[in-house]
A = this chain, B = another copy of it.
Amino acid sequence: MLSKKAKYGLKALIYLAKESEERPLPVSQIAESQKISVKFLEAILNDLRTGGILKSKKGKMGGYQLNVKASEIKMSDIMRLLDGPIALLPCVSLNFYDTCEECLDENNCSIRKVALQVRDATLEILGAATLEELVKNEK
């Protein structure tokens, strides 16, 4: 399940992609429009900045805006930054690979093989779902 953090982040990014052409938008405005706690959203947008998806401008008239084109931001990128791994198992994660501590034989694990298929299918869909697409599909 997506965490609230990820959902809030996604909604905020969709709002940003829709509303902002050039000027940055303050957290307070985004939070109000999406009914999100300002302080919580502040932390989320900061994570997205650290992750390279947003850029910020400090001080009065400052705020956040996209750091790259909406067509280049994948839903999988956003989810990874805010929720961590997408895969069902660490041993099939592309970006957060780790062994399963309780695994007795990784090369020969049938659960792993299924998790690999799920990962590939999921990433294909989440990769096609760019922020641009998400905005388009929001009527």
Known contacts: A100-B7, A111-B134, A138-B109. The answer to whether A1 contacts B122 by CB under 8 A is no
Nearest CB of chain B from residue A72's CB, rounded to whole Å: 17
| Number of residues from A at the complex interface, CB < 8 A | 42
Q: Which residues of B contact A68 (CB under 8 A)?
A: none
Within 8 A of B (CB), among A79-115: 85, 87-90, 100, 102, 104, 108-111, 113-115
Question: Are the C-beta atoms of B110 and A14 separated by less than 8 Å?
Answer: yes
Q: Tell me, yes or no, whether A75 is within 8 Å of chain B by CB.
A: yes
**Among all A-B residue pairs, the 9 with the closest Cβ atoms:** A110-B137, A121-B121, A110-B134, A114-B129, A110-B138, A117-B125, A108-B139, A2-B88, A118-B125
